[in-house]
Chain A
Amino acid sequence: MQYVYYPGCSLKGTGRAYEESVLAVFDKLGIQLAELEDWNCCGATAYMSVDEHRSFALAARNLALAERQAPDTAMVVPCSGCYLTLNKTCHIVKDYPEIAQEVKTALDRAGLEWKNRVEVRHPLDILVQDLGLDTIRQAVVRPLKGLKVAPYYGCQIVRPYSTFDHQIYPTSMDHLLEALGATVMHYPLKTKCCGGSMTGTVPEVGKRLSYILLNEAKKREADLMATVCPLCQFNLDAYARDAAHAYGPVNMPVVYFTQLMGLAFGLSAKQVGLQRNIVSAMGSLKKFCSTGAAGAAATAK
């Protein structure tokens, strides 16, 4: 199996641990990812509030580049914001012929062609649907036995265009975490908003929304939360101290689902970027961290 890989801006910045763990896990499973050459910003929500048509053209450049780089190969997009924006562009040009024409004209000016054939997929979708839980179970060398995980999906991975899971109460990551041996908690807020960019723009609201999620996981006695989105991870990890200061003590580490996969597959903490957590998850993950040769080599590096 091979895919084109679209990282997006976050995975090169605050979400580096996500990129590190996605690449390590896919490599371990023998799935090839080739980074999209010279990719640009997806357009994201902020761009869409200023100029919608240009935001579709901006997203379309990536889709055109992907079709040129590897025809008939799906594109993996780990960031929920990018995943939504790129998917939305594919849908909008089908529903609105006049926008499709504008996007086409814009791409023509740059000598690019996009046939709307490239599929935009999330790694969770690929791992659960294409690869399957059995294969994942077989790759586990260190089951996450006894680890209590609150599965947090965030909003834009399941809404509104993706079709691989339920839009309010998804379960694919639950099954994946169970395949790793973890205990998955019932977490009713799994698709409730983390605050998005509000933590930076209207902090009193953004931090409150983040706190509600952290506190719910605490009340349910989870060891940590697992997420699929770099912005969710950033909000819940980086603003946790401020949120606790404002609303009450809460110490809830938040990690990417791919980091947990990596540990279960025998990779070291460093190989999956666990040292990048601000609220350390090592308290509950230490016992699953590889001390083998591969782990030691990575630590020495």
Chain B
Amino acid sequence: MAGKTAIIASNGTLFDAYKVYNIATAAAASDHEVAIFFTFEGLNLINKEAYGQLPLPEGKEHIAEGFAKGNVPAIPELVEMAQELDVKFIGCQMTMDLFGLEKEAFVDGIDVGGAVTFLEFAKDADVTLTF
């Protein structure tokens, strides 16, 4: 492994999803070991019902056209790619409980854990990012 990247995803718009998954897949493609901790609205990014239709941020709805033209991959496609590249997904147990969501609501292959699970991974990471 060339490095280690730890990401916290705590927001749930389409912009947030691209920020998180673009960096995660790029890091994994550069042979980094990558884990993403999904918490609060960030859980939308792995929620099976939500991740294919994430909203644009308020007032930025007009950017939808740019996304269509830019030939950017769809979020479910990026998720699949990230998982193929062995990016580890950790759902935050505490916020899942708060929102009344079970593990089954999310894409397959996620781990569920708490803050310490993420900190254990992140403590010796070369790159740590929060979105």
Q: Judge: A and B partners, yes or no.
A: no
Chain B residues within 8 Å of A, Cβ to Cβ: none
